[in-house]
Every structure is written in C-alpha cells, then in structure tokens.
Structure 1
Amino acid sequence: MKLGIIADPKAESFDYAAGLGLEFVEFCINVGVPAEEFAVKVPELKAASARAGVAVGSIGRWGADRIAKDGSIVEEELQASYTLIDACQELGCPVFVCGANYVEELSYYENVRAAIAYFEKLLDYGRERGVRIATYNCHWNSFIVDETAWKLIHGHLPELGIKYDPSHARYAGQDYLKEMADWGHRFLHVHVKGSVIVNGKRFDDPPAGLDQTDWGTFMAILYGVGYQGGLSIEPHSRTWTGELGDKGVKFTVDYVNRLLLRG
C-alpha cells in the first residue's frame, strides 16, 4: 500500500507531499470546476511530479449531475469525465473516481440502469488508456454508497472499482468493517479521514488516529483482502486548520506509517 494526501492541483503540492515523506497526491476536480481548467495544468503538474518524485494516485470528480431527469447521460459531464481520464493517462494516475446522481423522477431500477450505462462508457474509455474507474461511497450527489447499489452495479460491471472512506459509512449508520470485508476486493482507492459521532450525530472529522474509527482492524482487513492501492489522507475538519491542521496531518502520517509497518 502507498500513502498520500489530497492536495490542491498545483506544482507546490508535490513538494508538500515530498516533505511529508508521502508517495502520491490526489486531486479532486469537483462540480463547478471546468475539467478543462485542470487539463491545461497537466504539463506543469507532470513536470512537478517528476521533479519531486511524487506520483498522482487518484483524480476524482464529486457532486456532478451525470444523469438527466429522463435517465439519459448528461453529455457535458461525460466529456468532463473523459477529459479527466485523459489527464490520468498523461500523469500516470491509475484511478479516476466519480459517482452517479439519483433521479427522483425515476425508479431505483431505472437509476441503476442509467448509472450502468454511464459507467460502461467510462470503463471503455479508461480501458483504452490504462485508467481504472471507481465509484465513491460519499453521499454527495451519488447513490452508489452501499451494498445494495454495489451488488447491482458493480455486480454487473466486474471492472468497476470502489473508492472507500469509512467516515461516510459511519455517519450513515452502516457497518464499515463488514463492507470492507465483503467488498474490499473491489477497492481501488481508500480515503483516510477521521470521524467522531456524539449522541448519534456527526461532531467532527479530526485527523485519523484521533477519532473513533478502528484503524487497526481497518488495516487488518485491507491486508486480509490483499489491498495494494493508495491510502489518501483527507484533511476535512473545520477545527483542525492552520498550524493545528499541519500538526494533525503529520500525526496521521506517522500513525498510518506505523500501521503500514514502516517503523
């Protein structure tokens, strides 16, 4: 397994990751940001990656409407996905991550069919470029977040992977350890983000290792299912920012490295 961090899509991010002793950075080009704006930065990012010796481990796009009200594919977002898959190829990034929105006007069955049609296109496009496709288990405008959806969509598409983050399962009241044991063989990328629940409600997303997630068992399951992908630290707290946030990231780097048996 490799350890990295989500960072801004700029050259300095590679130096930041290298300074922490990390192996990769992850870029999230989310809804509202034109994919073409990222694409023009690719040559600069590629040069910075080579200079710093830090790879790009994942590129993803969260929050977008990919399925229209009638169940058809939103062409603009399909092209954005293609653009980002092209960027993955150029940067040597192995995984592109996205989701599929749920259309209330359609049945669950129709939503599943629409999502499958979308991912079939991405899988075909990615396969030709050496890039794998994964769905995220974040609930941000995507319904592919649990075993029900995975059985239908990933069950039908054996090449489709999963980007997993235990915090999303915890906040939704799902059993993240069971999900990992059952579906870890399909994981292509993993987010490392702390989560704290107090009185049944989300309290904060502190640094991993300072939260309620059973990271020891989490890692034991990843080892058990033979996971070999990236572990991407996701600073996501409104409390742990600035100097405190920097200390939290360094804590998590040290903590996860121990779980990776790196001394």
Structure 2
Amino acid sequence: MKKLMLAAAALALTAGMGLAQDTVRMGTEGAYPPYNFINDQTGEVDGFERELGDELCKRAELTCTWVKNDWDSIIPNLVSSNYDTIMAGMNINEERKKVIQFTQPYTPGLPSAYAALAADADIKGGVVAAQTSTIQASHVAESGATLMEFATPDETVAAVRNGEADAVFADKDYLKPLVEQSNGELVWVDGFDTVKLGEGIGMGLRQSDNELKEKFDAAITAMKEDGSLNEMLKKWFGEDSQLFE
C-alpha cells in the first residue's frame, strides 16, 4: 500500500511539473504603446504584443499569464526567473544576446526617430532624451550629444516639452502618434525621422530555455507564412507599416 501511495504521489508530482512547464509568464513593461500598455478600462496589459503573445501561446499550446515589470530591470528579472519571456518592444542586438537569447524577430527592423520642438534641433551637440537601457540611449551616448536618460518613455517626451532636452530619440512607432496628435508642437528632426538600429524586435528568453524558444519560433514562423502576423502589424501600426515579405 505504501508503494502504491508513493507511486501515486510521484505521478501527481510529475503531472504538476508538466503543468508548470506549460504555464508561461510573459513579462512586459505595460508603458510603451502601441507595443504594450495598460488598458484604462480593464486594468490589463493590452497592445500589439499582448494580442500577438496570446496568439503565439495558443498556437504553441501553452497557457500564458502576463507580468508587468519596469523596463530598467526587465532583463535581470527574466534571468532571475520572475517570468519566462520578455515581450516589451525589445530590439535584438549583440549586447543583449550576451545575457539572454531571442526568438526570431516578430517585427521587421523598424526605425527609430528624433522628435523635437523644432525641426532643426541640435541632436549632435545638444541634449537628447532617451529611455534608459535602450538601443536608442546607446546610440545617443555614442553620437556626441549629451544623453539624458529616463526610466519611462513618457518622461523622455516630457523632457522635450518642458525644455530639459533638445530632442527625444525613440522607436518611430512610439513617437508617431505623439507627433501627429501634438498639433505641431512636436516635429521630426530634419533628416533624422528614420534611423535604422537593431535587428528587429523579438521575444527574450533565458539562455537555457531552448525548448520554449523552439515552440515560439515555430509559432512566429507559422504566423509569418499564413499572413496573420502582417495583418496584426497593419492593425496596430497602420496600413503603411513595414511588413514581412
């Protein structure tokens, strides 16, 4: 009887472990629309990456939950196993690949851009705001301009509006609606409204999670092949958004 009970307990433990492995915690910032943001009505994570992440989990036959984390600690908390993936508008680059691994890109190499109160803003010798720990911040630091870093993207734009910074440098898809809705207050800096950086945006995972990476890669590939990923990109970024061929 004791052996039977031990066997049953072992079977239950094994089943529980299998369930835990199929429950994936998706880490995101929740502050970078349209990639990810908190829906005011529901209080839940929303945006392009929420919709895409849910679809990828469905195709990979995984149960997923969403975890909000500040950007400046989003990689350390992934490595520390506080969640299992990062879907937070994170560009793939060599520096980050030293710490975590990425799926294939789920966006093409989308451009960054400079926005300011004047089209002739000094972005080479002036002060440029960027979100900390981004490829845009690294680019500004190497450009000769004075880098002013902020924890959130909203603060970078506010720094331009209140005169602390001459310009802001961020993903163009983040800045585009802010420029369009500013009634001319914010404009693109001449010649710097399309700056290519990084290898595209992908899902970050721990270096050891190869099986999980394979599952998500397969789901991303399937969405590229059936055209559903391009449709989602057009939904969130507009009909003129850059698509996968």
**TM-score (normalizing by structure 2):** 0.29
Greater share of helix: 1
**TM-score (normalizing by structure 1):** 0.27
